[in-house]
Amino acid sequence: MSVRIDCLQYANWSEKIFRQMREGGVDAVHVTISYHENFRETVLNMEAWNRWFEQYPNLIMKGRWADDVRRAQETGRTAIFFGFQNPSPIEDDIGLVEILHDLGARFMQLTYNNQSLLATGCYEAEDPGITRMGKQVIKEMNRVGLVVDMSHSADRSTIEAADLSERPIAITHANLHSWQPALRNKRDDVVRAITENGGMMGFSMYPHHLKGKSDCTLESFCEMIATAAERFGVEHFGIGSDLCQDQPDSVVEWMRVGRWSKEIDYGEGSAAAPGFPPQPEWFKDNRDFGNIEAGLRKIGFSEAEVAGLMGDNWLRFFETNFTAQGAN
């Protein structure tokens, strides 16, 4: 039986959202538990999730392995997989890569929007590529089964990461730059580097990454997916909605600025309205995944292709990339 997987959300978590996940038939979600948090702060965020797992055991469960997605589906729950949008949880200590994987982390971006100790973010003027530490961290992430995520990274860094990594890497949440030329969307040479190395890309419904932003149509979004599938192979794509449901506008400041600046950096948002833009009508929350499925069918994808895009492709990726090297 096919599954539904969303490979990136950063919601203001609540029982309401957990129930909406169930109403939408979402079997697994990769959740951001760190933007700029250090190791100790990230562990505290894991502790908060442990309380939610204890509080809502009939709605959510901790995801560690691909089989947990199937177990969640069989028991009517949503498996929650942890990920970081910045390498700040490992600080400057490569040994923390394995520790964090042991604690349940399954994805780590090598950068957010800025230069990190590992690679270059997509807002930097220059991109010198993967750093010396970055090369070592990629090797260690490959060894333990922590997926390299380049969603917010610059082009050269992303292409180098795909080539350097011994295992497929991911862009969990972005769209095609040729469809909507946002800084965060990915040019064809970047997508090609990911997919030719066996990697995955999740399509985002974050309005600043959509053609027409909040007014983007479902048909346009699905046409973009069809273009990607035709160019690079449908098996390399899924959903990474980047849903930031119920977050206060103040959270944007933490996402964009963290502790690195005294000035507000609005990213791709408007300086006059730095908060979260409204979601498109066809994707307000987790209950709307059926709309995407219907849109993919209407645009001409087969049932097997629709199942792949809605989750089966991500599940296959989980099966081979969450375990230690050589353990499969």
Which parts of the chain have pLDDT scores under 70? Answer: 254, 265-274, 328
Closest to 145 measured CA to CA, from 93, 202, 81: 81
Closest to 150 measured CA to CA, from 128, 165, 133, 166: 165
Q: Between β-strands 200-203 and 237-239, what pairing exists: parallel, antiparallel or unpaired? A: parallel
- pLDDT at res. 270: 46
- pLDDT at res. 189: 98
**Concatenated DSSP letters for 50-76?**
HHHHHH-TTTEEE--SHHHHHHHHHTT
User: Which residues fall within 8 angstroms of residue 307, CB to CB, at 6 or more apart?
Assistant: 2
Helix H, strand E, coil C: the string for 117-143 is: CCCCECCCCCCCCCCHHHHHHHHHHHH
**What are the start-end ranges of the H helices in the chain?**
15-23, 39-55, 66-74, 96-102, 132-144, 155-164, 188-196, 218-232, 250-257, 289-299, 303-307, 313-321
- pLDDT at res. 268: 58
Cα 170 to the chain's mean position, in Å? 8
Token pair of 175 as six digits: 């769209």
Closest to 277 measured CA to CA, from 219, 174, 208: 208
- pLDDT at res. 175: 98
Q: Between β-strands 5-9 and 28-34, what pairing exists: parallel, antiparallel or unpaired? A: parallel
Segments making up each domain of the chain, as ranges: 5-321
- pLDDT at res. 259: 79
- pLDDT at res. 269: 52
Kindly report the number of other CB atoms within 10 A of residue 142's CB atom: 21
- pLDDT at res. 274: 60
CATH 3.20.20.140, applies to 5-321: yes
Token pair of 20 as six digits: 């909406």
| Distance separating the N- and C-terminal Cα atoms of the chain | 22
